[in-house]
Structure 1
Amino acid sequence: MTTISPARVSMYDFLYQDTKPMVSLLADAAQLSLPQARLAMDASLQAIISALLAYQQRHQGQTVSKKLFGRHAVKELRQYNSMNFATLNATLYHRHDAADAIFHDSARVIKASDHIAAQIDATTPQVQILLTSLCVIVLRELAILVEYSQLDNDEINKWFALQPQFLSAARFAASQPTPASVALADTNDDKELILPAKNSLEVELEGSSERRLLNAEQLSGKPPPFDPYWYELTAFQPEHYEPVQDMQLATGNYLKVIGRSSENIQQGKHNDLLVFAEMTAITLPHQRWLLQLAKISEIYLQRNRLRITSEPASPPKPPLVSLGLIGGNNDNTPTTTSEKPIEYEASIPLWKNPVILIIILVIGLLGGLATLKYYKQKSYSIRLAKEQLLEQKPSAEERQQQDVAIVMVDEDEPNDEKVEKPLSKTSI
């Protein structure tokens, strides 16, 4: 049996690990030091996740899928397969639009930036650049998980409903180290986990009134405890969600397939079932879509997709997860530092495209009318020319006739005295 951490379906845990490689890029864009950027990213992720939960609580999963995950900014950003300055420029271009959509009000974005800036000793505009840029990245990453996990609207609602337990104080209290372990870490790991004196972190924050150090939990990879202030800012109302198992599906065979109980493990090729490990203060239903989401999240985190690198020559393949057993750790897709761009529908052939056919039909119709009009005018011109020729022909013949004079001769008179008297003038 293969176990997977329940934190793999946590938006907060996934985004915290996923966005780690982007610290330097966002620090450069916001003109912050690396320690300031790391602390600002932690608080910004908490604010964004709380705003997303409030958005889903108001509008439900269908609107989240269409209005947030299907935004033009998300589609454009998914055309990039790596994180670099080109990707960052596209992120900065769409950051205000995405932030206003998530927080539902630009005033909340400014208020959240003020709160974070006061914690890290930075200015509000600097934090606002980082916060709004993270909004676009978060929507992109969550949209990828939803698409490749094939979540429908109802499953998106259930996924969002599971998130508050990952942000609860009980979850972080259970993971807090004991005082003895803290003392041991201070003595033994002071040079490794806590940065030594006069290092880059202290140099950056030495002149501030509140000099803060990244604690061992942040450096080891675990997200810091969630601040309930963000619930107040985003007006999110946490509701106690009890996962309900469909009893019609809770049969012995179903439990074997999904690996619900360890005593029902099958032998042979089906002995590598995927199940959720135990986690304090976390309760998850063993459902196919949730296990598939956890597996895809695990694969993507192993790929370190947001590491800063140049654009690859060819886009990577999406992860392959068995829909039958959702088991196995073997993933045949190549490890990559980037992500497959959004797949658009295949282009329709020209002879099947209705728009092209309509355009060709209109052009052919107009061409036929023009040809018909041309021949009609041509026949009319020929007929008119013939009529004019017929009208001109009699006058020409008249001009060719000769005038003949008929005279009368008086026979009684002598020939020499005969006088010619014209009688009439007739045209012959």
Structure 2
Amino acid sequence: MTTISPTRVSMYDFLYQDTIPMVSLLADTAKLSLPQAHLAMDASLQAIISALLAYQQHQDGQTVSKKLFGRGAVKELRQYNSMNFATISAALYHRHDAADAIFYDNARVIKASDYIAKQVGTTTQQIQILLTSLCVIVLRELAILAEYSQLDNDEINKWFALQPQFLSSARFTVSKPENLSTELANNESQEAIATAENSIKTKDSADTDLSSIEQLSSTPPPFDHYWYELTAFKPENHEPVQDMQLATGNYLKAIGRSPDNLQQGRHNDMLVFADMHDIALPHQRWLLQLAKISDIYLSRNRLRITSEPINPPKPPLVSLGLIGGNSDNTPTTISEKPIEYEPTTPLWKNPVIIIIILVISVLGALATFKYQIKKADGTKLAVEEVLEQEAIEERQSQDVAIVRVDDDDTDSAEVEKTE
């Protein structure tokens, strides 16, 4: 069994880890110190994600795909495969257009920048540069992730619907280890987290949970629900529902086995989501593929500051055997036996199609026969009319008599008459 963290399909967690390498570049662009840039980026990501969720809630996945992920600014920025001055210059050029598209208007952008500036202790204009530039980067990263995962419009809608649970307060409350002090739990800066890790690792306690510390270091700060109010997003209670008629061993084997239905033996290389408190994800093929591609994409660290590579990196590939099946197709239990379906009837054996073809053929033959009869009747009438006309002309020629009288006969007749 291969497990993967549910946070790999969280936009907030993905973008938080993905944008860490470019903190110094954005700090230089907005003329902020590194601590200020860290805090400003965390709050900016929260504002952008909340605005994206509100956008999808009022529109749909198709609109998100076409008008946000398919924008010209995003396409231009996708030509760059690393972060450098050329990449950030392109982001600065398109930042206002992308921010207005996500937040609907510039007034919300200014209001969000002013809110973040008060928290960080800097000017609204500086935060606005960082926030709007980050809008283009976020759209670019999510567009790449959606394309590599081959998400359609319906799957984009489902992906967005799963996001509010990753932003709930309960999720961040239980993610903090118990052996951390309250002061550390309330501190959201990256420097404090790193210091806590070093101090805990130096302790000689055998029961120290290093995996929890590592998870804390990669966990973004708690989400500020003020952004829901600013962006007019209304979180809904979305509980993923499995179709129980399809919840068989064969179905789970095809889409990724559920942890509650794990089989023993050779079938132990399936990719499944690990259990996480207050997080519920359906074990579906597209979601597992999205999680795996997100994991590969983050491991490449593509937003690190470096020169543009000569050859662009290839899209990550996910083994279909990992998320959609197993090389060993021998069923181990009765529940894993393939479902037998009735073979489909060929078209030429389908009685309905045969009847339709016969009816069309008969009607076509009748129409052709009727046309030929009408054509023959018309020809016969035309011939009869011609013959009748010729007969009339013949009779008229027989009624006329031409009499020729010679001159000699006329003279002799007159002489006889006189006598």
- Give the TM-score of the pair, scaled to structure 1: 0.67
Aligned twin of 1:259: 257
Aligned twin of 2:141: 141
User: Deviation above 6 Å: which 4+ runs of structure 1?
Assistant: 183-186, 216-219
Aligned twin of 2:156: 156
- Residue 43 of structure 1: SS of its match in structure 2? helix
Residue 184 and residue 117 in structure 1: after superposition, are their counterparts in 2 closer, same or farther (change >3 A)?
closer
- Deviation digits for residues 333-392 of structure 1, max 9, x if unmatched? xxxxxxxxxxxxxxxxxxxxxxxxxxxxxxxxxxxxxxxxxxxxxxxxxxxxxxxxxxxx
One-letter code aligned to 1:235: A
**Contact 2:175-2:216 within 8 A present in 1 as well:** no
In structure 2, which of residues 305, 308, 322 is the aligned counterpart of residue 308 of structure 1?
Answer: 305
Deviates more, 1:217-226 or 1:8-17: 217-226
Find the aligned partners of 1:12 and 1:121 in 2 and give their Cα distance: 24
Residue 192 of structure 1: how far off its partner (Å): 5.5
Residue 265 of structure 1: how far off its partner (Å): 3.3
Aligned twin of 1:239: 236
Aligned twin of 2:27: 27
In structure 2, which of residues 315, 324, 334 is the aligned counterpart of residue 318 of structure 1?
Answer: 315
**Contact 1:218-1:224 within 8 A present in 2 as well:** no
Find the aligned partners of 1:218 and 1:79 in 2 and give their Cα distance: 33
One-letter code aligned to 2:92: L
One-letter code aligned to 1:89: S
Aligned twin of 1:169: 169
**Contact 1:256-1:266 within 8 A present in 2 as well:** no
Residue 53 of structure 2 is aligned to residue 53 of structure 1:
yes
Residue 246 of structure 1: how far off its partner (Å): 2.5
Residue 267 and residue 318 in structure 1: after superposition, are their counterparts in 2 closer, same or farther (change >3 A)?
farther
Residue 160 and residue 192 in structure 1: after superposition, are their counterparts in 2 closer, same or farther (change >3 A)?
closer
Residue 284 of structure 2 is aligned to residue 282 of structure 1:
no
Residue 225 of structure 2 is aligned to residue 221 of structure 1:
no
Residue 219 of structure 1: how far off its partner (Å): 8.4
**Contact 1:99-1:132 within 8 A present in 2 as well:** yes
Residue 266 of structure 1: how far off its partner (Å): 6.5
Find the aligned partners of 1:35 and 1:233 in 2 and give their Cα distance: 25
**Contact 1:47-1:112 within 8 A present in 2 as well:** yes
Find the aligned partners of 1:246 and 1:218 in 2 and give their Cα distance: 32
Q: Which runs of 5+ in 2 are unaligned?
A: 186-190, 199-212, 326-419
> Identity over the aligned pairs, expressed in percent?
77
Residue 324 of structure 1: how far off its partner (Å): 4.4
1:4-23 paired onto structure 2 within 5 Å = 4-23=4-23
Q: Which runs of 5+ in 1 are unaligned?
A: 197-215, 329-428
In structure 2, which of residues 290, 296, 304 is the aligned counterpart of residue 299 of structure 1?
Answer: 296
One-letter code aligned to 2:239: E
Equivalenced residues, count: 305
- Give the TM-score of the pair, scaled to structure 2: 0.69
Find the aligned partners of 2:292 and 2:299 in 1 and give their Cα distance: 11
Q: Give 1 or 2: higher helix fraction.
A: 2
Find the aligned partners of 1:128 and 1:248 in 2 and give their Cα distance: 51
Find the aligned partners of 2:197 and 2:85 in 1 and give their Cα distance: 29
- Root-mean-square deviation over aligned CA pairs: 2.5
